[in-house]
Amino acid sequence: MRMRSKFVTGAVALAAVTSLAGVPAEAASGRERGNDRTALQRDTDAIAALGVAGVQARTTGSAGRSVVASSGVSDIGTGRPVPPSAYFRIGSINKTFVATVVLHLVGEGRLGLDDTVERRLPGVLRGNGNRGDRITIRQLLQHTSGISDESYPGFDSAEEYYAHRYDIHTPEEIVALAMRHRPVFEPGRGWSYSNTGYAVLGLVIEKVTGRPWYEEVSTRIIRPLRLHHTVWPGTSATLPRPHLRGYQRFESGGTLVDVTELIDADASGGLISTTADLDRFFRALLGGRLLRPELLRQMQRTVPVDEETNQIMPGARYGLGLSSRPLSCGGTYWTHGGDQLGYRTRNGVADDGRRSVVVAMSTQFNQMDSALGQEKLAHTLVDNALCHERTAPLADQAARTRQLRLLANVSSSSSLSSRDSNPPSASRVNQARDDSGPSAP
């Protein structure tokens, strides 16, 4: 389950952002990128240097070639390195899977984005000003329903974790807890992230299809895409092997607490996966393999996030289970982050669909400076990876120009024939292109 405490609030956010000067400088800016592997490793190492136990990043370019970099360890106790196929809890990335299923049902005519919750789940959203007859499916997907997350189950301390990590919460129970609170705002009149809203969507999917949300995700997404390492854990508190152990720093200056074991399998963040499977999922989704064009356009119709979130993620906008953020090299990328106790995952697909990236981190911090520093470094990694192919062709063209000038000078001053001199030089140019990764045509 997601952390119950607010990630960051009001003026504290601004103070924490100004403290990021202490973040490790190893992460490259958009203008200091090397080749794929070198830059990715540098950015991965920078995240680990902040105190994150284990980091794995995967990028895939326009030619379909993937590059993987890792740093730190998968288990602090044993010191084992991070395996390339490590499992981890994906947290709220689960919401994009659920949103895709909902849009499938819309495309089949079995559900409408502007259907009210009351029509599908009579009497479920009621009390303390909550009215299911005024909240739509679209608003649940877009976090504009106003449903409170104040009582959403979670942990603020190691003691709470040890006491309640094996507790089982039904979606009905989670929704009932939310109904004890007044809405954050009137439906459609604001934006506020709501895990409870996606618990409601899980119930809607089951009502419409007669099957649990995770079975529909498996049938419609996991099996067709052959995501063999994406699983729903049910009531199991463990992860498949090999996996990253998750760690949480609850107190400032405190030790990392191993929080790997946890029962949490609801529609807002229950799945377990790998960087390879998540990369394949997002590339398929944004590449139009999972949704018809008109449905994908609905998913990508965004609204502004609240000011608190915008301070953490400048320029972010939210669609239907998918968000967008600006790139330093121009354009935007599509993403959905995943924060789970002990795990943080970030990802992105460039707006042209040619390049993608996933970074999984096996540590969460309750302290604002560390948490925001981790967020900034993860965004830097994503931005560098997605901007690489936009900047690499310029560097390649400059290198080719220098090579051609060199060849011209050699040709004019040497008695060697062009047949003797050109092939070795051309070979070095091709090798340079190979080393820098595939360039955009």
Torsion-angle region of 230 (φ positive above 0: left; ψ -120 to 50: alpha; else: beta): beta
Query: Pairing between strand 338-340 and 332-335?
Result: unpaired
* Rounded Cα distance, 420 and 338, in Å: 57
In sign, the C-alpha dihedral spanning 318, 322, 323, 326 is negative
Q: 70, 74, 92, 323: which is the annotated catalytic residue?
A: 92
Return the number of other C-beta atoms located less than 10 Å from residue 112's C-beta.
14
Alpha carbon 418 to its chain's center: 52
Q: Contact 278/93 with Cβ under 8 angstroms?
A: yes
H-run or E-run covering 304: strand 303-304
Q: Contact 367/337 with Cβ under 8 angstroms?
A: no
For the question of residue 412 being annotated catalytic, the response is no
What are the backbone dihedrals phi and psi of residue 96, each rounded to the nearest 5 degrees, phi first?
-70, -35
Q: Contact 250/259 with Cβ under 8 angstroms?
A: no
247-249: strand order across its sheet: 257-258, 247-249, 363-365
Query: Pairing between strand 66-75 and 80-81?
Result: antiparallel
- Which tokens in the block code for residue 168? 């089982």
* Interacting residues of 64 by C-beta distance below 8 A, sequence separation 6+: none
- Catalytic positions are 92
